[in-house]
């Protein structure tokens, strides 16, 4: 069996990580949003105003990305608390 240079392995792992994030961001989350939107629409006769959405903060694959966003926003002293909440998608 051929020995792979460690740089190639790291590059491969990074490419896999990036492609996984891309898959979730471009396909899985939007598809889940569409499905949940359709379910909510079907429930509205019994639950007026019902909305369902993906809880992005609970998706383990996106946790590193979310943690980095929290760190960037938390370290921005020029933003008000209300602006930070809006950027992070937290209802004030």
Instruction: Give the distance between the most distant pair of CA atoms in the chain.
Output: 63
The percentage of the chain sitting over the pLDDT mark of 70, rounded to a whole number, equals 84
Q: Cβ(62)–Cβ(21) under 8 Å?
A: yes
Interval 51-70: pLDDT, tens: 999 988 888 888 888 888 88
Closest CA to 87 of 69, 71, 75: 69
pTM of the model: 0.64
Selected residue with higher pLDDT from 5 and 88:
88
39 has a pLDDT exceeding 90:
yes
Q: Say how far residue 31 (Cα) sits from the centre of its chain.
A: 13
């Amino acid at each position: 069996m051929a020995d792979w240079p460690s740089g190639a392995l790291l590059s491969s792992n990074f490419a896999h990580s990036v492609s996984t994030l891309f898959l979730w961001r471009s396909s899985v989350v939007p598809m889940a949003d569409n499905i949940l939107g359709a379910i909510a629409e079907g429930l509205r006769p019994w639950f007026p105003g019902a909305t369902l959405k993906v809880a992005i903060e609970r998706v383990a694959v996106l946790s590193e990305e979310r943690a980095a966003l929290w760190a960037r926003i938390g370290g921005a002293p020029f933003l008000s608390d209300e602006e930070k909440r809006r950027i992070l998608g937290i209802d004030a």
